[in-house]
Amino acid sequence: MRKFLWWTGGITLAAILLAAAMLLRTLVFAGQFTQINPHFAGKCRTLTGVTGAEDLDINADTGTVYISAYDRRAVLAGAPINGALYRLDLSDPEAEPIPLWRGEGDGDFRPHGISLYRSGDGRQRLFVINHPADGRQLVEVFDITDGWLTHIESISDPSFVSPNDLVATGWRAFYLGNDVMSQNQTMKIIETLLPLARSTVIFFDDGKARIAAQDLSFVSGMALSQNGRQLYVSELMDKKLQIYARNPVTHALSPLGEVGFDTFPDNVTVDADERLWIGAHPRLTDLLSHATDQSVLAPAQIFRVTPLLNTSSRVEEVYANAGDEISAASVALRHGRQLVIGPVFDSRLLVCDAP
């Protein structure tokens, strides 16, 4: 009996130690012990009245920023509310966001990633991922005339499983990133947290969809280089940025390189100098707590990446904050001497001096 108890106690202790080691490993991976050293070389102006400005795009010729926003915390709580699209004129230092579209019915417009397409003749279209309350996954298409939106159509496809971001490449063509592929809510959580590399990039062109890239881990952001020959895809749960060579004729993608981070990268934008700007979440645990409790601050990071294909890309952390100035920043967009920063949940935007 004593020997049996000794073995039982040993097995129990080993199980406890293994569980503790796995928990510690998970917390380390999630950034629970990451130290935040707030810094920024410039000053920021705070704009209020826009909640959850998770993604941005810009017409660089006019300095008009388009903003995708909705109150995710309220939606998580079951409120049947809509989000909205806004525009912000960066040429006016006193400008405030102007609402452009709020949907047509309660819960039918909950925007996520957005992408502006400009044709050679100057016409503009805005593509917007939408997660309406009825569970459909849509891409809303808007024409832009004199800064105002006209809704053209809602595009759906079975390959749009859990779209997070997209990049427009034509009048009715785009790459779309699914962050997870599971349909069951429990499996979505498991797929995200393990994490499983099941995410896909879909190319859609005039009614036809195909997989352009796969085996990714939670696609959270996408952007094209200025010449359209590189596609940048952030993998939030694998803590890296994938760089693909893009064939502008066939739209095929070929792996070209990757950039690793010690944080969770979110949306990606590309400035006029071909540098990438990436919002990131250093503590995933704080982000998850912040999602349901606005009193819990989530630290924010902004990175500037100079992609170098034949050597290591240059990665610079240009902004870090503990969450009091802005929590859970998901996107940064640089235009000239200005840097616009948007969050996943906060009811504010920052317009800062660009470093």
SS3 annotation, 257-304: EEEECCCEEEEEEECCCCCEEEEEECCHHHHHHHHHCCCCCCCEEEEE
Is residue 68 within 8 Å of residue 52, measured between CB atoms?
no
CATH of domain 31-353: 2.120.10.30
Query: 191 pLDDT band (50/70/90 cuts)?
Result: confident
Among 242, 321, 216, 324, residue whose Cα is nearest residue 279: 321
pLDDT in tens, 294-307: 999 999 999 999 98
pLDDT at residue 188, as a whole number: 75
What pLDDT, on the 0 to 100 scale, is given for residue 6?
Answer: 55
Summarised one tens digit per residue, pLDDT across range 205-256 is 989 999 999 999 999 999 999 999 999 999 999 999 999 999 999 999 999 9
Four-CA torsion 21, 24, 26, 31, nearest 10 degrees: -160
C-alpha–C-alpha distance, residues 301 and 277, integer Å? 10
Q: Is the pLDDT of residue 8 over 60?
A: no
Are 338 and 352 within 8 A, CB to CB? yes
More confidently predicted of 69 and 313: 69
pLDDT of residue 24: 47
Q: Are residues 88 and 65 in contact, defined by beta-carbon separation less than 8 angstroms?
A: yes
Residue with the bigger pLDDT between 313 and 164: it is 164
Q: Any idea what DSSP says for residue 127?
A: E
How confident is the model over 158-173, as pLDDT tens digits? 999 999 999 999 999 9
Could you check whether the bond before residue 99 is cis, i.e. omega within 30 degrees of 0? no
What are the domain boundaries of the chain?
Answer: 31-353
d(CA 69, CA 111): 6
pLDDT band at 272 (very low <50, low <70, confident <90, very high): very high
Q: Return d(Cα 26, Cα 211) in angstroms, integer.
A: 31
Which residue is listed with tokens 């393990």? 194
Q: What is the pLDDT of residues 57-72, one digit of tens each?
A: 999 999 999 999 999 9
The partner residues of 204 in beta bridges, in order of sequence, read 174, 209
Across 43-57, average pLDDT: 97
**Centroid of chain to Cα 232:** 12
